[in-house]
Every structure is written in structure tokens, then in C-alpha cells.
Amino acid sequence: MSRSYNNNTVNSNNNAVLANPHNDNININNMDRWRVAVLGDGGVGKTALAVQFTLNCFVETYDPTIEDAYRKQLVVDNRMCFVEVIDTAGQEEYATLRNQWVREGQAFILVYSIASRVTFERLENFRQSMRRVKRGDTIFMLVGNKCDKSYEREVSKEEGAALARKYGCEFLETSAKTAQNVERLFTNLVRALRDASVTKDEVQAPPKKKKKRCIVF
């Protein structure tokens, strides 16, 4: 699906690249692929975050999203990966689709606007959807977007941090407009996904058979 932003046509399925192809330290072998779903109320800036991350531009106005995907190659710790961002609808009329979006995601971003307490208070609905479908341990981050609107702030940074502690997740305030903490957000998620993948592999790995030793007296 294509949308028109500021007289420029943006194709959400384009692959944006954040990498230095001349950096010999970058490992492009066995590139891992991750799918991140962005959840939150309508108007909190989910699409703007996805576009800023993948296309390095700010979306001022746009049509409300039902579901869209943005893709980007990203270098994290000198290792290339492919990140797909699932941009979802936050409006209540699309709540029945939420389980599908959660099933598609490997990690999640719960977003609210610091300029809207209502969006902060509704986060629990999205978290419960995530827990109901995924069960077990889930990788997600809590994000207070639009931190450039400090003059309109309705949710303090301390409140966001306290909720993150309650949820047991990492917390960041971001600005899709200025790009503050946007790259850091996705970089931290990739690291968490990799760590979880390594841990899972270690748990599932069959125990090594002990070699019999011949002891000579």
C-alpha cells in the first residue's frame, strides 16, 4: 500500500538500508530476520515511528492504518539483520484483528503519546491482547512517543518508567518528528531478540554425550 506524505509518495514495502557496505567488520552471513509489531491507540504515532525508522522522514499527516509493513536492513553490533515493522490500527473497531497482528510479531512496541493520558491508560488493553495470544515470556518495550511536545505533556516520564517496571520491560521516550531514540528503540529490540534466540537454542540443545575414557593402571 502506498500513501502520499508531503507530496512525496512513500512505498511502505521498500527496503530501507542503514548500513555501510564498505565496512569490512559487518557480518552479512546468516542475516537474521525479525518481525516487530507496533501496538497502541490511534493517533499515538505508530506509523510515524515506523516511517522514521525505515525511511528517515517524518509523517505529518496520513490515512489511518489498518495494517501495513515497513522493512529495513539494520546493522547491530557489526551484524546485519532484516527488520519488518508491522504497523497496526489502534482504533477499537479493529480490535478483532489484534490477535492476528500479535501472532505475526516476534517482538512488540507498546506506544502511547505523552500528550494524551487516555492513550497511556489504554495500554493495558494491548498488553493483555499480547499476553493472551503469546503466553509465556514476550519481548516488548514501552514507548512514550511525541516527547518533542513537552509543552503538551499529560504523562510524566516517571509514570512511564513506573509502568515499565510493573510490566518488566524496557522504557524509552521517543519523538518520531525529531528521530530521538527511534533507532535506539529498534536496536535494543534486536539485541533482546538475539539474546532470547541464543538462550532458547541453548535450552533446546541436546546434552553432549560424554566420551568414554580408557584408564590404564
| Residue 94 included in any domain | yes
Residue 20 has pLDDT above 80, yes or no: no
Q: What angle do CA 25, 28, 32 make, to 5 degrees?
A: 125
- Under the banding of pLDDT at 50, 70 and 90, the label for residue 67 is low
pLDDT of residue 171: 98
Kindly give, in sequence order, each residue whose CB lies less than 8 Å from that of residue 161, ignoring residues fewer than 6 positions away: 171
CB 101 within 8 A of CB 109: no
Helix (H, G, I), strand (E, B) or coil at 36: strand
Q: Is residue 35 part of a domain?
A: yes
Least confident residue range of 20-24, 38-42, 175-179: 20-24
Write down the pLDDT at residue 142.
98
Range of the domain at 192: 2-204
Q: Crossing angle for the helix pair 182-204 and 46-55, nearest 10 degrees?
A: 90
Query: Which whole-number Å values give the CA distances from 157 to 45, 107, 140, 141, 142, in the listed order?
Result: 17, 23, 18, 15, 12
For the chain, the residue count is: 217
Is the per-residue pLDDT at 147 higher than 60? yes
Does 212 map to a domain? no
Residue 142 lies in a domain: yes
Domain membership flag for residue 213: no
List pLDDT tens digits, range 185-200. Answer: 999 999 999 999 876 5
Given a cut of 60, whether residue 92 has pLDDT beyond it is: no
Q: Is residue 209 part of a domain?
A: no
pLDDT at 95: 57
pTM: 0.77
Q: Is 74 helix (H, G, I), strand (E, B) or coil?
A: strand
What is the Cα 115 distance to its own chain's centre? 21
* 211 within some domain: no
pLDDT for residue 216: 42
Domain count, the chain: 1
Could you tell me the CA-to-CA distances from 181 to 89, 110, 146 in Å, in that order? Answer: 23, 15, 11
The CATH number of the domain holding residue 102 is 3.40.50.300
Whether residue 210 is contained in a domain is answered as: no
